[in-house]
Amino acid sequence: MEYTRRKFLQTSLGALAGAAAGGLWSVPGWAAGGTKLELTAQESRIDLGRGPAFNAFSFNGQTPGPVIRVREGQELQVILRNRLQRPTTIHWHGQPVPNAMDGVPGVTQAAVPPGGSFTYRFRAHPAGTYFYHSHFGYQLDQGLYGALIVEPARPVGGWDREEVLLLADWVLADGGGMAPVPRRSPMGGMMGGGMMGRGRMGGRGGRGGWSGAPGEPLTEPYYQGYAVNGRLYPHGEPIKVKKGDKVRLRLINASSATTYDLSLAGHRLTVLALDGQDITPKTFDVVRLAMGERVDVEFTADNPGAWLLQAYDTGLGESGLATAVLYQGYEDRPPNRPGFRPGLSLATYWDLAAARPVAHPAGPPQRWYQQVLSGGMHSPYWSINGRMYPDSERLGAAPGEKVRLSYFNRSMIPHPMHLHGHFFRIVNFALPPERWLVKDTAVVEPMRRLDVEFVADNPGLWFHHCHNLYHMEAGMANLVTYAGATPPKET
Ligand SMILES: [Cu+2]
C-alpha cells in the first residue's frame, strides 16, 4: 500500500475543497467524507503468491481487508455484512470505542449471524496505527483482519513515503489456522514460544502433530508462511525508494501466534510510535512486535542498494517473513539480508518513553489486581489466576479510578496481554509517570512481572486477554467490569 506525501497533499486539498475522497485511499466503498464503508466477511480463495491456493476468509474478497484511513475526530461508520456460514464480529483493536461497538461476541454484542449485518459507528480517536479483526472463534487466524489508520486531525508531514505493512502467520490449507495440520504440543509451549526459538526449535511441518482430544481447544499450528500484506516473499510488493527519501513504516502484527524481530539490512530503524502512540524517537537495529502490537518506524534512504526487511527466525529467505526495499536503479538486484548477530540493539519497553508528557494520576491505585498467567504444561488450557474464560474473574472498576494490573507470568513463553476500550501505561520506575509508555497490548516475558495502570474512563464490560489467539481461545481471558454493565442477550 503506497502512500506518498504528494498523494497526502492532494487528499488534504481535496477534502478542503469538499471533494469526495473516493479512489485516493484505495478503499472500496469509500464514500464522500471518507467515513462510511462496508466490509463483507466471506469465504474466499486465498493466494499468497507461493504455495497452494486455499479457502479461508476475507473482507471484501481480500486478506488483509482494505486499509481503512480516517481522520482523527471523524465518525467512522462500517457496515459489516456476514456472508460466512458462521457468526462473526469486528473488533477495532486499540481504539477506545464505546462499549457496544467493541465487537466481542457475548460481551459487547450478540455475534452477527450468517446473512446478518451490523453497523459499527464511532469517532476515530486518537490518531495512530491500529487494526480491525474478527473476534469470533479462530477467525483471526483465517484471514479476517485489516489495517486501520487514524490520521492526525492536523496533518503531520516529514515523510516522502509511507507504507502500511500488515504481518500475518499462515497455514496454507483450507481453513487457514483451523486446518487439520500438525500442531504444537502443549509441551511445545515450553520450548517454542512466541519469539526466539520459533521455527528453528519447532521444526517446520513434520514433527509435533499433537491434536487435542475432542472438545479441547486447538493448540497453535506449525505455520507454513509469514505474509506481508497478504503476500509471501518474494511475491509481495517491494518498497521502492530514492536516495534521500525519509520513509515511514506502519508495522502491524495481526498474526495469531507469532512474534517478529524485524531488521532492515543496511539501515537502522527509528521507532516513532508504539500501539499508535508517539514516543521519543530512538534508533535500533532490531524492532520486536508481538501479536496485537503496532510499531511505527522510519528510516532515511541513505545507503543505495537492494535490501531485505526481514524477521529473525521465522526462517530465512523464502520461508520467512520478508519484504524488499529497493532503491532506484537496484530494482533487479537480489536483496541483501540483514545480518542477525550478537550485539545488535533491540527496542524494549524500558528503552522508550512517551514523546510528550501524558497526564497520569499520582498516588496509589484505587484497585490493584494480581494476574497470574499460567498453563501450557501437559495441558492445552491457559489461565489467569488459575481460571479460564468464561469462568474467569471480573475485575471491577468505577469511573475515574486508577486500576493497576500486576502480571506474573508463571509460564515459559511470553503473553501479549491486551485490554479493550482503554490505553494503559507501562509502570516504569525509571521514568516519571507522565512519560510512561501508553499502550493497549503489553508483552509479559516468561517468568517475569510486568505492571500496567489504566484510568477507568470508558464504562462497559471489557474483554482483557492474551493476544495469542490460541491462548485466548484456551481460556486466558477475563473481563473488566463497571458497575451495572451487563452482557447483551444472545439472539
Ligand atoms: Cu498467551
Residue type, 386: G
Side-chain-side CA neighbours of residue 406 (13 Å) = 6
Using pLDDT thresholds of 50, 70 and 90, give the confidence band for residue 464: very high
* Distance between Cα 138 and ligand 1 center (Å): 15
* Distance between Cα 227 and ligand 1 center (Å): 22
* Distance between Cα 384 and ligand 1 center (Å): 10
What are the structural domains of the chain?
A: 2-156 (2.60.40.420), 159-347 (2.60.40.420), 367-482 (2.60.40.420)
The number of beta carbons lying within 10 Å of the beta carbon of residue 399 is: 11
pLDDT value at position 380? 87
Per-residue pLDDT tens digits for 242-294: 999 999 999 999 999 999 999 999 999 999 999 999 999 999 999 999 999 99
Which one has a higher pLDDT value, 356 or 12? 356
The number of beta carbons lying within 10 Å of the beta carbon of residue 361 is: 13
Distances in Å between the Cα of 214 and the Cα atoms of 189, 218, 220, 381 are 20, 10, 16, 14
Per-residue pLDDT tens digits for 9-48: 333 333 333 333 333 333 444 433 457 999 999 999 999 9
* Distance between Cα 417 and ligand 1 center (Å): 7
Give the span between the Cα atoms of 213 and 48, in whole angstroms.
31
* Distance between Cα 385 and ligand 1 center (Å): 13
With cell 481471558, the residue in question is 477
* Distance between Cα 228 and ligand 1 center (Å): 23
* Distance between Cα 13 and ligand 1 center (Å): 45
Q: Which of 70-79, 207-216, 393-402 has the lowest mean pLDDT?
A: 207-216
Mean pLDDT value across the chain: 87
Give the span between the Cα atoms of 235 and 92, in whole angstroms.
29
* Distance between Cα 9 and ligand 1 center (Å): 42
Using pLDDT thresholds of 50, 70 and 90, give the confidence band for residue 378: confident
Look at the alpha carbons of 197, 200, 202, 205 in this order and tell me if their dihedral is positive or negative. positive
With cell 510486568, the residue in question is 450
* Distance between Cα 331 and ligand 1 center (Å): 40
Q: What's the burial of 251, exposed, middle or buried (CB within 10 Å: 0-12/13-18/19+)?
A: buried
Asked whether the predicted pLDDT for residue 384 surpasses 50, the reply is yes
Residue type, 245: D
* Distance between Cα 85 and ligand 1 center (Å): 28
* Distance between Cα 433 and ligand 1 center (Å): 27
Question: 335: which 3 cell numbers?
Answer: 536483496
* Distance between Cα 411 and ligand 1 center (Å): 9
Give the span between the Cα atoms of 417 and 351, in whole angstroms.
20
* Distance between Cα 468 and ligand 1 center (Å): 5
pLDDT value at position 13? 32
Asked whether the predicted pLDDT for residue 195 surpasses 70, the reply is no
At 77 the three-state DSSP class reads strand
Question: 445: which 3 cell numbers?
Answer: 516475558
Asked whether the predicted pLDDT for residue 7 surpasses 50, the reply is no
* Distance between Cα 301 and ligand 1 center (Å): 37
Asked whether the predicted pLDDT for residue 129 surpasses 70, the reply is yes
* Distance between Cα 410 and ligand 1 center (Å): 11
Over 177-222, what HEC string results? HHCCCCECCCCHHHHCCCCCCCCCCCCCCCCCCCCCCCCCCCCCEC
Using pLDDT thresholds of 50, 70 and 90, give the confidence band for residue 319: low
* Distance between Cα 16 and ligand 1 center (Å): 46
Buried b (16+ CB within 10 A) or exposed e, 183-209: bbbbebbbebbbbeebbeebeeeeebe
Write the DSSP assignment of 341-402 as a string of letters.
Answer: -TT--B--GGG--BSS------SS-SEEEEEEEEE-SSSS-EEETTB-TTS--EEEE-TT-E
* Distance between Cα 487 and ligand 1 center (Å): 24
pLDDT value at position 377? 74
Per-residue pLDDT tens digits for 265-278: 999 999 999 999 99
* Distance between Cα 415 and ligand 1 center (Å): 4
Q: What's the burial of 175, exposed, middle or buried (CB within 10 Å: 0-12/13-18/19+)?
A: middle
* Distance between Cα 27 and ligand 1 center (Å): 33
For the chain, give the percent of residues with pLDDT over 90: 78
* Distance between Cα 373 and ligand 1 center (Å): 8
Question: 286: which 3 cell numbers?
Answer: 532490531
* Distance between Cα 204 and ligand 1 center (Å): 21
- Phi/psi for 277 (5° steps) reads -105, 130
Give the span between the Cα atoms of 194 and 289, in whole angstroms.
10
Give the span between the Cα atoms of 176 and 134, in whole angstroms.
14
Asked whether the predicted pLDDT for residue 136 surpasses 50, the reply is yes
Cα end-to-end distance, the chain, whole Å: 39
Dihedral of the CA atoms 98, 479, 410, 434 (nearest 10)? Answer: 40
Which one has a higher pLDDT value, 312 or 114? 114
* Distance between Cα 313 and ligand 1 center (Å): 19
* Distance between Cα 470 and ligand 1 center (Å): 8
Give the span between the Cα atoms of 292 and 440, in whole angstroms.
9
Look at the alpha carbons of 256, 426, 368, 97 in this order and tell me if their dihedral is positive or negative. negative
